Amino acid sequence: MPPVVIALDGPSGSGKSSTARKVATRLGLAYLDTGAMYRAMTWAVLERDVDVEDAEAVAEAAAEIVIESGTDPQAPTIIADGVDVAGPIREQAVTDAVSQVSRVPAVRERLVALQRQTIASSDGIVLEGRDIGTVVAPDAPLKLYLVADTAARAARRAAEEGQAEVAAHVEATAASLQRRDAIDSTRTTSPLAKADDAIELDTTHLTLDEVVDEVVRLAVKAVPDLGGPAS
Ligand SMILES: Nc1ncnc2c1ncn2[C@@H]1O[C@H](COP(=O)(O)OP(=O)(O)OP(=O)(O)O)[C@@H](O)[C@H]1O
Ligand SMILES: Nc1ccn([C@H]2C[C@H](O)[C@@H](COP(=O)(O)O)O2)c(=O)n1
């Protein structure tokens, strides 16, 4: 039997990482943040002073970059060229450049191959990203597409950064989310898209725990074996 895959896709800041980690923990599954892999690749490209607008140069650099992901949902790790980049990949410079790097086909080929290797070596896994249900794991028995209003997404992200009360920060965050969504959903290779058989879940008015409960319920319905003592 191939490992069970739960695919979580959706726009920036819709709650994919927080939901996926908690669902994986509840169900005793591994967890892979594919956005962190694209961010790590971007960090390493920037470290090499490569112009992210130059797709050929990005592809050339990407061929040499080594990305490693740890899949424990309670302590996920991300390493680029032997460096722990969990902190640096959340910095604004990486956030601003990641959509440019992610649209280079050679980058996607490398990372999708790594993601499929990670699935194959797992005993069941929750993956989150932009193309999990459409490209990385099209046969996943459960695909979710998380959405939330831009205002809610920006407010949540600003709260996480301790800036919820700073209107200019919330506004800039909303603009940054929308800019990334626009690039991610219009690129030629595997754009952000809802798979035809994905279930759309609007989290705007749901708490994180409510979202997690719903995803766990859908997972156990789709794969009854997941409903063992661990859940
Ligand atoms: N349903 C929810 N209710 C309230 N806050 C939430 C909810 N879901 C997620 N959050 C919060 O919103 C923020 C963004 O969530 P998260 O990082 O999981 O989104 P994401 O889709 O993985 O984002 P990105 O695509 O940028 O990586 C976090 O601070 C998280 O705790
Ligand atoms: N499967 C994926 C995951 C991520 N990306 C790109 C597009 C995002 O803007 C960026 C960062 O992802 P995040 O950390 O915000 O989830 O990575 C992608 O193209 N495909």
> 3-state secondary structure string, 2-38?
CCCEEEEECCCCCCHHHHHHHHHHHHCCEEEEHHHHH
| CB of residue 102 inside a 6 A radius of ligand 2 | yes
Share of residues in the chain with pLDDT > 70 (%): 99
The pLDDT assigned to 227 comes to: 80
The DSSP secondary-structure symbol of 136 reads I
Phi/psi at 78 (5° precision)? -145, 125
Candidates 17, 127, 163: which one to mutate for ligand 1, based on the most atoms within 8 Å of Cβ? 17
The pLDDT assigned to 58 comes to: 98
The pLDDT assigned to 229 comes to: 56
Indicate which residue's Cα is closest to atom 7 of ligand 1: 208
What is the value of ipTM here, to two decimals?
Answer: 0.97
Does position 2 have pLDDT exceeding 50, yes or no? yes
| CB of residue 129 inside a 6 A radius of ligand 1 | no
The distance of Cα 228 from the centroid of its chain, to the nearest Å, equals 27
| CB of residue 204 inside a 6 A radius of ligand 1 | no
**CA 16 – ligand 1 centroid, Å:** 6
Q: What is the pTM of this model?
A: 0.96
Element (H, E) at 47: helix 34-47
The pLDDT assigned to 89 comes to: 98
The DSSP secondary-structure symbol of 134 reads I
| CB of residue 108 inside a 6 A radius of ligand 2 | no
| CB of residue 156 inside a 6 A radius of ligand 1 | yes
The pLDDT assigned to 191 comes to: 93
